[in-house]
């Protein structure tokens, strides 16, 4: 039986989303209406699947031609958030209409990547490629930092850094970006007391209430987890158990064995995307887009899981395909849909 | 696209995934007991379950003094959360006028009836910052002599202790041994469902049988009073 990369990507996406529904159900088991968020996520899952198949049906040349337009519209949506958006948990990152809300930075990830890939391949001169890519990324990061959403802006920056690395640009460009960025990160930590507090708490885990609760939830799951819908600790102690603490909730529900299966599914998804990125018969842009998609999903997944296992200081990032959130899920659907489209875009 | 450089990124991803798997394995295996014990320390609270105080009977076995079990409604102990408008409204609907400005140690409502307890259950399960405290109240039969001679009890740490009269004289016999149970509280101080553990069941106090019957006690009392 021949298993196609397309099949692996779709299979991983569906199975991971299923684990997401399970996580949300467990995180809501002690509430008044345990199925409310599950039903909403199920609708978002339908939308994500539809968008994934729609994007995969369109030719990659369409996305390449419209890259800057799509990226421009998304950037505009992110830019007007401080004026028209709704503030939730101190972050002005959502458009809200009744019970429907939309987080543009989640959906825009695919279009940001598309724009960046096109810019990095547009110019022959290396300095021009780097300059255009850097200006473009900084514009996006500035728009996201205003909200302020430092976790997502870090993902955008990591994607830029990784793409200039894999696209073969010389080391000096990379170092010329990393050194000022590291300086900016240090300044940021020292000028934002909450960031410094989080870092100190991470360095002294015994004093970090949040990290202790995350560890506890995972430990309670043991090897095989508590009963489904019986994630006692996640319900009672974890902040946003269906979102920022989704992996810990999942581990408490299905134990280390189940959580390892989820990790392996992510590895499978990243492996499929990486095989596409390394395929010589695809165009450079397609390969770079597949690599970028793997980096977005990989970095965000590892940051989320790292935080939930107390290996990293809290960042507030969601787990792709698993955490509750329609924007995040449909954003992933669009991203994977464009990758599937890129997989058909062979070198002539 | 530089495949060698991309492989470097993949190696970093691989190493990070292995770190996550190892940490997850440690949490599920070797470190599990230690971490859970730490969590129990944070969230598990131990409470006393009062023992029923023994009765006082006359020579013929007539009950003169006894204890009744009551349930009172209190705010929960954390004091971090307040009742929402909906929760206040639900309580008013159930009990009528209610003073919400009391401290956590003062009951919002005393002597809850069984149907009121059942009606409160959904509100408590929804996480309203309330708790039900079990209490024994000492009752005396309708006799002036017994009331005067039996003495009084005082509630110390939710345990009835005799402070005068027969109650004090026979304290060791009448007083039971309170039980101990534990529950887990969430970060708002609310009870976490299915976390109840009984550590020691309460053992009730023993009955005291007097050597005189009620009539004799009353006669003797009146005589002494004169």
Provide the shortest C-alpha distance from residue B142 to chain A (in Å): 48
* B103 has a chain A CB within 8 A of its CB: no
pLDDT at B190 over 80: no
As for how many domains chain B has, the answer is 2
Does residue A348 lie in a domain region? no
DSSP reduced 3-state for A205: helix
Does residue A131 lie in a domain region? yes
The residue-averaged pLDDT of A236-249 equals: 88
Between CA A116 and CA A155 the distance in angstroms is 14
Q: Please, are residues A322 and A246 in contact by the beta-carbon 8 Å criterion?
A: yes
B174 and B96 in a common domain = yes
A285 burial level (CB within 10 Å; 0-12, 13-18, 19+): buried
pLDDT tier at B20 (50, 70, 90 boundaries)?
very high
* A278 has a chain B CB within 8 A of its CB: yes
B36 and B51 in a common domain = no
Between CA B63 and CA B68 the distance in angstroms is 13
* A174 has a chain B CB within 8 A of its CB: no
Provide the shortest C-alpha distance from residue A203 to chain B (in Å): 17
B38:A267 CB<8 A: no
Between CA B13 and CA A296 the distance in angstroms is 12
* B23 contact residues in A (CB cutoff 8 A): 309-311
- Which tens digit of pLDDT belongs to each residue from A139-177? 999 999 888 888 888 999 999 999 999 988 888 888 888
The candidate with the shortest Cα–Cα distance to B124, out of B136, B135, B112, B141, is B112
The residue-averaged pLDDT of B7-29 equals: 94
Helix, strand, coil: what percent of chain A each, to 5?
75, 5, 25
A232:B192 CB<8 A: yes
Model-level pTM? Answer: 0.79
Does residue A50 lie in a domain region? yes
B17 and B69 in a common domain = no
Q: Which residues contact A98 (CB under 8 A, 6 or more apart)?
A: none
B98 and B120 in a common domain = yes
pLDDT at B44 over 80: yes
B28:A255 CB<8 A: yes
Please name the residues between 216 and 275 in chain A that touch chain B, using a CB distance below 8 Å: 216, 218-223, 230, 232-233, 235-237, 251, 255-256, 259-260, 263, 266-267, 270, 274
- Which tens digit of pLDDT belongs to each residue from B95-153? 888 888 887 778 888 888 888 888 888 888 777 888 888 888 889 999 899 999 999 99
B161 and B144 in a common domain = yes
Element (H, E) at A105: helix A104-122
- What residue numbers bound the domain in which B197 lies? 42-225
pLDDT at A286 over 70: yes
Q: Where are the alpha helices (DSSP H) in B32-180?
A: 32-43, 85-95, 114-125, 144-150, 165-169, 171-174
Does residue A27 lie in a domain region? yes
B27:A255 CB<8 A: no
* B29 contact residues in A (CB cutoff 8 A): 223, 256
pLDDT tier at A27 (50, 70, 90 boundaries)?
confident
Q: Please, are residues A248 and A238 in contact by the beta-carbon 8 Å criterion?
A: yes
Pairing of strands B208-209, B56-57: parallel
Of B5, B32, B195, Cβ closest to residue A219: B32
Q: What is the ipTM of this complex?
A: 0.90
A256 burial level (CB within 10 Å; 0-12, 13-18, 19+): buried
pLDDT at A314 over 90: no
* A158 has a chain B CB within 8 A of its CB: no
B109 and B9 in a common domain = no
pLDDT at B78 over 70: no
B112 and B15 in a common domain = no
Between CA A91 and CA A106 the distance in angstroms is 14
Provide the shortest C-alpha distance from residue A80 to chain B (in Å): 34
pLDDT at B80 over 60: no
Residue B81 pLDDT: 56
Does residue A136 lie in a domain region? yes
B141 and B74 in a common domain = yes
B167 and B97 in a common domain = yes
Does residue A183 lie in a domain region? yes
Residue A235 pLDDT: 80
- Chain B residue with minimal CA distance to A287? B1
Angle at which helix B3-28 crosses helix B32-43, to 10 degrees, equals 60
- What residue numbers bound the domain in which A185 lies? 5-342
Omega within 30 of 0 (cis) for the link into B31: no
As for how many domains chain A has, the answer is 1
- Which tens digit of pLDDT belongs to each residue from A81-114? 888 888 887 788 888 888 888 899 999 999 999 9
A167:B1 CB<8 A: yes
* A305 has a chain B CB within 8 A of its CB: yes
Listing DSSP states for A71-83 in one string gives HHHHHHHHHTHHH
* B35 has a chain A CB within 8 A of its CB: yes
B156 and B91 in a common domain = yes
pLDDT tier at B77 (50, 70, 90 boundaries)?
low
B82 and B37 in a common domain = no
pLDDT at A348 over 70: no
Which of B3, B6, B129 is the mutation pick for testing A, counting most A CBs within 10 A? B6
Mean pLDDT over each residue of chain A, to the nearest integer: 89
CATH code for position B108: 3.90.1310.10
B32:A287 CB<8 A: no
- Chain A residue with minimal CA distance to B44? A233
pLDDT tier at A234 (50, 70, 90 boundaries)?
confident
Identify any residues that bridge with B49 across adjacent strands, giving them in sequence order: B179
Provide the shortest C-alpha distance from residue B209 to chain A (in Å): 49
Instruction: Phi first, then psi: give them for residue B154, nearest 5 degrees.
Output: -125, 145
* A161 has a chain B CB within 8 A of its CB: no
B25 and B108 in a common domain = no
């Amino acid at each position: 039986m021949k298993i196609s990369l397309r099949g692996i990507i779709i299979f991983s996406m569906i199975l991971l989303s299923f684990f997401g529904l399970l996580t949300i159900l467990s995180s809501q088991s002690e509430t008044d209406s345990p199925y409310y968020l599950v039903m909403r996520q199920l609708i978002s899952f339908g939308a994500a699947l539809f968008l994934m198949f729609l994007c995969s049906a369109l030719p990659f040349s369409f996305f390449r031609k419209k890259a800057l337009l799509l990226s421009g519209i998304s950037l505009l949506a992110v830019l007007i958030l401080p004026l028209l958006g709704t503030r939730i948990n101190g972050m002005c990152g959502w458009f809200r209409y009744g019970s429907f809300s939309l987080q543009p930075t989640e959906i825009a990830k695919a279009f940001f990547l598309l724009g960046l890939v096109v810019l990095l391949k547009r110019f022959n001169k290396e300095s021009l490629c780097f300059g255009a890519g850097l200006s473009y990324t900084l514009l996006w990061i500035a728009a996201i930092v205003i909200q302020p959403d430092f976790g997502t802006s870090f993902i955008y920056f990591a994607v830029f850094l990784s793409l200039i690395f894999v696209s073969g640009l010389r080391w000096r460009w990379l170092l010329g970006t990393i050194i000022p960025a590291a300086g900016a990160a240090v300044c940021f930590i020292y000028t934002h007391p909450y960031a410094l507090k989080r870092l100190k708490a991470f360095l002294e885990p015994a004093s970090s209430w949040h990290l202790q609760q995350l560890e506890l939830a995972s430990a309670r799951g043991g090897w095989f987890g508590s009963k489904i819908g019986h994630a006692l600790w996640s319900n009672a102690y974890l902040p946003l158990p269906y979102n920022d603490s989704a992996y810990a909730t999942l581990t408490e529900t299905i134990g280390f064995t189940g959580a390892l299966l989820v990790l392996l599914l992510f590895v499978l998804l990243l492996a499929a995307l990486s095989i596409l990125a390394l395929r010589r018969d695809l165009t450079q842009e397609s390969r770079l887009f597949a690599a970028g998609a793997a980096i977005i999903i990989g970095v965000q997944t590892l940051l989320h899981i790292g935080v939930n296992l107390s290996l990293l200081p809290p960042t507030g990032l969601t787990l792709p395909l698993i955490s509750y959130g329609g924007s995040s899920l449909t954003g992933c659907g669009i991203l994977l849909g464009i990758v599937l489209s890129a997989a058909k875009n062979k070198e002539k | 696209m530089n495949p060698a450089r991309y492989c470097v990124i993949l190696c970093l991803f691989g190493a990070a995934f292995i770190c996550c798997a190892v940490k997850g394995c440690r949490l599920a295996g070797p470190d599990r007991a230690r971490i859970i014990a730490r969590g129990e320390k944070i969230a598990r609270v131990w409470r006393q379950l009062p023992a029923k105080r023994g009765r006082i009977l006359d020579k013929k076995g007539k009950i003169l003094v006894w204890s009744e079990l009551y349930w009172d409604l209190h705010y929960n102990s954390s004091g971090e959360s307040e009742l929402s408008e909906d929760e206040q409204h639900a309580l008013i609907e159930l009990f009528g006028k209610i003073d919400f400005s009391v401290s956590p140690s003062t009951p919002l409502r005393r002597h809850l009836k069984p149907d009121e307890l059942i009606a409160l259950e959904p509100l408590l399960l929804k996480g309203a910052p309330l708790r039900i405290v079990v209490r024994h109240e000492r009752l005396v039969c309708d006799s002036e002599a017994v009331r005067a001679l039996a003495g009084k009890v005082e509630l110390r740490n939710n345990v009835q202790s005799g402070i005068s009269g027969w109650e004090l004289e026979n304290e060791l016999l009448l007083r039971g041994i309170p039980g101990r149970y534990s529950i887990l509280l969430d970060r708002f101080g609310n009870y976490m469902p299915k976390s109840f553990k009984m550590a020691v069941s309460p053992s009730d106090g023993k009955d005291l049988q007097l050597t005189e019957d009620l009539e004799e006690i009353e006669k003797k009392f009146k005589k002494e009073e004169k």
